[in-house]
Structure 1
Amino acid sequence: MPIPLKNPIVLECQNCHFTFKITGDDLSFPHQCPKCGADDWQIKG
């Protein structure tokens, strides 16, 4: 059973600043940025 997060985790691509939210339903995230293809994520917040 998925555990919802109180606050979503926001990852930001360090190359193009695209943001990706992890809400808790699925903790996986794309290895490469869907916008620019870089794989340099950093957690925002």
Structure 2
Amino acid sequence: MTLPEHGELIARTILNAQLVMLPAVHMSNVEQPTEFLNAVLSE
């Protein structure tokens, strides 16, 4: 978990990185498990 602007910086810095923001309050992997797994496993 990080601030959105930090996530954007990280995504711009890492080659082929993709920023995915899920609608969650604190723990996206618990609150949105299917969406989280889809984002992590996507290419």
TM-score range, shorter chain: under 0.3
Point out the structure with the larger helix share: 2
Higher-RCO chain (CA-CA 8 Å, sequence separation at least 6): 1
TM-score by length of 1: 0.23
Higher strand fraction: Structure 1 or Structure 2? 1
